[in-house]
Amino acid sequence: MFERHLFKDRHDRVFKDRHDQETGVKAPPPAESRGGCRPGTVGMILLILIAALWSRQVPAQPSSPHLYFNARTPPGLIGSTRIHGGGPVENYFQPVEIRGPAGLHVSLAENGVFSDPRPVPLTTGLLIGRVYRLRLTEIPLVNQEGMELFPTVEVVDRTYPPPGREAQFPIIAEITIDDLRLALEGKFVTRVIYVEDPTQAVPAPTTVPEQPWFDVPPNQDPLATADVLGRPVAIIRLGGRLPMPEEQADPAFLFGCPPCVIHPARVKFLPRPPRTESASLPHAHPDVAGGVR
């Protein structure tokens, strides 16, 4: 989780060590002392030595795709860079399930205006690389009746579920009650959602219904932390200033109002209640008409 800061230290240290090695190289002895080697051989040896040192001084390319970005990068830049990286991501509507505390309602910007509020959880398909403005209402906090928040969701990568079952494996974008409280207090909350690296994930089922999360210190970048732990797929930005009523339909505020797909609510099948003796059907008499056989 310190990859972004350690890379600079490692970069400087490697160059320092290699500089010491280069300055410690001795000049080759004269040709006479080496058994009469021809000058062309000496030049070839020097050329190979210089080429080897030069190739060692070229720094390795960074493995993190977001090394030149951070969580404060303007919305849309990280996702659009992923689009230009290639792969089956362009024009793909990534299913995203928006979760929150009970009672919270969310509205999506559709056709230049916010839609009717829908209760959470809400599953919608969002384009990768685009930024979506949401409106949160019915915030379940004391003394916050009538307050609204306008977070953004930026999908920066996609998941790869089995074909035809994309809606069953959405990205979980959960907004907790603490996020809402901090945003209403004037704080700016950034939540980076990532897919775990299977080589680093703990092989244990999740025992809590909420999405696991943790805070990073102020001197650390949550995007860089997510890069180390897995593959970032979405960024939620919550807080900042509240728009004026006339600004809520501004295309710039809505980031162009990109299209989205609303998925039907998933039905949760409850287990069948156990059958008791009193709930069993009575035995029918064979002589009674309409009896059950």
Domain that holds residue 131: 77-262
Q: How many domains does the chain have?
A: 2
The verdict on 51 and 87 lying in the same domain is no
Q: Report how far residue 167's alpha carbon sits from residue 119's, in angstroms, rounded to the nearest whole number.
A: 18
Q: What is the DSSP string of 2-54?
A: -HHHHHHHHHHHHHHHHHHHHHTPPPPPPSGGGTS--HHHHHHHHHHHHHHHH
> Average pLDDT of 147-156?
95
pLDDT at residue 65 above 50? yes
Band (11; pLDDT cuts 50, 70, 90) = very low
Question: Do 214 and 247 belong together in one domain?
Answer: yes
Is the residue at 245 inside a domain? Answer: yes
Could you tell me if 119 and 229 lie in one domain? yes
Q: Give the integer Cα–Cα distance in Å for 72 and 189.
A: 11
Q: Verify that 170 and 250 share a domain, yes or no.
A: yes
pLDDT of residue 60: 42
Residue 287 lies inside a defined structural domain of this protein: no
Cα–Cα distance for residue pair 261/2, rounded to 1 Å: 37
Quick one: pLDDT at residue 261? 93
Q: Kindly state whether residue 280 falls inside one of the protein's structural domains.
A: no
Query: Does residue 76 carry a pLDDT above 90?
Result: no
With both helix axes pointing from N to C terminus, report the angle between 222-229 and 3-23 in degrees, rounded to the nearest 10: 80
pLDDT over 80 at 59, yes or no? no
On whether residue 94 sits in a domain, the answer given is: yes
| Residues 182 and 100 both lie in one domain | yes
| Residue 278 domain flag | no
> Does 140 lie in the same domain as 22?
no
Say yes or no: 40 and 152 in one domain: no
| Residue 248 maps to a domain | yes
Does the pLDDT of residue 15 top 50, yes or no? no
Q: Are residues 164 and 199 in the same domain?
A: yes
If pLDDT is split at 50, 70 and 90, which confidence band does 28 have? very low
Q: Is the pLDDT of residue 33 over 90?
A: no
Cβ atoms within 10 Å, residue 132: 24
Q: Is 142 within a domain? A: yes
Are 213 and 89 in a shared domain?
Answer: yes
Long-range contacts of residues 40-44, Cβ cutoff 8 Å, at least 24 apart:
none
Q: Tell me the C-alpha distance between 117 and 9, whole Å.
A: 49
| pLDDT tens digits, 179-211 | 999 999 999 999 999 998 888 877 877 776 777
Pair (51, 22) in one structural domain: yes
- Domain for residue 176, yes or no? yes
Q: What is the pLDDT of residues 109-144, one digit of tens each?
A: 999 999 999 999 999 999 999 999 999 999 999 788
Bond into 286 cis (ω within 30): no
Q: Is the pLDDT of residue 25 over 70?
A: no
Q: Same domain, yes or no, for 52 and 128? A: no
Q: Are residues 94 and 150 in the same domain?
A: yes
What pLDDT, in 10s, does the model give residues 235-253? 999 997 788 888 888 999 9
